[in-house]
Amino acid sequence: MERLQKIIANSGYCSRRKAEELIKKGLVKVNGQVIIELGTKASLNDYIEVEGKSIIKKEDKVYYLLNKPRGIITSTSDDKGRKTVVDLINTTTRIYPVGRLDYDTTGLVLLTNDGELANLLMHPSNKIDKVYVAKVKGIISKEDLKRLESGVLIDGRRTSKCRGKILKIDKKSNTCIVKLVIHEGRYHQVKKMFESIGYSVLKLKRESMAFLTLDGVKSGDYRELSIKEVKSLYSLF
């Protein structure tokens, strides 16, 4: 017997946190009975419905690392018919991206049906490093870089401390390349951080998450994580 939200997350339907929200809303049934208590336990032999859909079996966990190109939506579907990151993965398993990258942002995206690991990786309290490289309009000063590192106000909230480094300066085009290491994942966060100090982002790429990098993975390509890598991710928490 396991907690109901864990069974739902393990099925690949959604993350554990999302499963808890669905239970609280009365959208989960076990053997035909609506469940609203988070402590409820069940087994895989029980008939479990989530939002009217049955969870048939416990799926094997799958983990993919994708090098997302520009013009791809970081979602499982798109109402405008645009291609999503899920469309780039050749699998019959129901997977979803861990966090999001903007439409025009490239780089590393993890996709999985492991709701527990996805939740752990996305929660800011776990402080998982995400490395971004941005091409910025203007030559950013060391003082402004320190402001970013100390935290800036975006959408009424201050960002956590981060690490930054100026990689290249091109005075002719009045641009520079900046590496930023953050552990949050707020909406348009990196772009808004630069905008808050007066710089616009021309290009943005996520190069790594935790110890995972894009080494050997070309734009638009992907690879499966090894068992060792998955275990190493869990060992971070």
Catalytic site positions = 102
Give the number of other CB atoms < 10 A from CB of residue 234. 13
Cβ-Cβ contacts under 8 Å for 140 (sequence gap 6 or more): 166, 176, 178, 197, 199
CA–CA gap between residue 72 and residue 173 (Å, rounded): 28
CA–CA gap between residue 180 and residue 131 (Å, rounded): 6
Residue 180: C-alpha distances to residues 84, 165, 175, 197 (Å): 26, 7, 16, 14
Residue 101 has which token pair? Answer: 């990258």
